[in-house]
Amino acid sequence: MMTQAVKAPMGDVRGKTAFITGGANGIGLGIARALVQAGANVVIADIREESLAQARAEIGSDAQVETVQLDVTDRAAFARAADAAEARFGKVHMLVGNAGIGVMGPVLDARFDDWDWGMGVNLGGVINGIVTILPRIKAHGEGGQIVTTSSQSALLPISYSAIYTAAKAAILGISEAIRGELAGENIGVSAFMPGPVQSHIAHSGELRPAEYRSDSGYRQREEDLEKRPVSPLWMSADEVGERVLAGIRDNDLYILTHPEFGPGMRTRFDAILASMPDEAINQDRAKEIGFLLSNPAFDDQLARRQGKELAA
């Protein structure tokens, strides 16, 4: 099936509405603040009620901001939150699937509760958002943007991050797969892969539901992680928010933040290519499976970046 490139469905976000999960602090709040300053309406969804109130007070602009409590693993609640967003602003144009938790530790210590909670929030929350809100964006016909918060971990996995990386790598794959599918609907897709950001992710353990506490190998590690200071050298949430805003405006497939990861990523890609069988390509087989051998979304992104470099 042929796919096509999307130009820039959002462009000017002024007057458009964004639905942001995990939006009440850290990265999500930085994105919300950038969008509001750019003239967009923002629905901030978060599991913490007290954080929602604080976020609304920090951003101000009550005419542009709505808040809703949401556990992204609750599909019925997600539908109600989407209804509330449309009741307030009429239409949702941007979905930012940002809610996430830092489930980290040795894979030998990981138990079913750790896997189920980590994958349920980090991957399931993104899926629930897409299934719930994407049809609503398509229905109004004005175009839109899906932003999925993956991670540099999806591109440069490290030890002790199996659960987190599994979810973030899946999110990246979903984003790349649906980019071409949604082009004809004038809906862009951006995979957002930040590095370390000043956020509250170290306090994820506070949110672990009771049903995921009895069979966990990570509880002590989570308690220790809460004491880790946030480095002033980590990127600020507001800077990250501005980078995401720019990615939405340009309909970038990849929104990256930290150039420090570049050399490691290149080594990983080189290691993969170096492992390719050193054999002649079977041309008949290549024709048979041609639909699997490339993704026009990659060509489109390269052209976009090269065009921006030339324009600069």
CB atoms within 10 A of CB 296: 14
Helix (H) or strand (E) holding 182: helix 162-183
Q: Is 123 helix (H, G, I), strand (E, B) or coil?
A: coil
Cα Rg of the chain (Å, integer): 20
Q: Is 92 in contact with 199 (CB distance < 8 Å)?
A: no
Q: Which among 37, 63, 26 is positioned nearest to 246, based on CA atoms?
A: 37
Counting runs of H as helices and runs of E as strands, what totals does the chain give? 11, 7
Exactly one of 164, 212, 218, 254 is catalytic; name it: 164
Identify whether 164 is a catalytic site residue: yes
Q: Is 30 in contact with 237 (CB distance < 8 Å)?
A: yes
Q: Is 44 helix (H, G, I), strand (E, B) or coil?
A: strand
Q: Which among 53, 56, 141 is positioned nearest to 93, based on CA atoms?
A: 141
* Residues acting as catalytic residues: 164
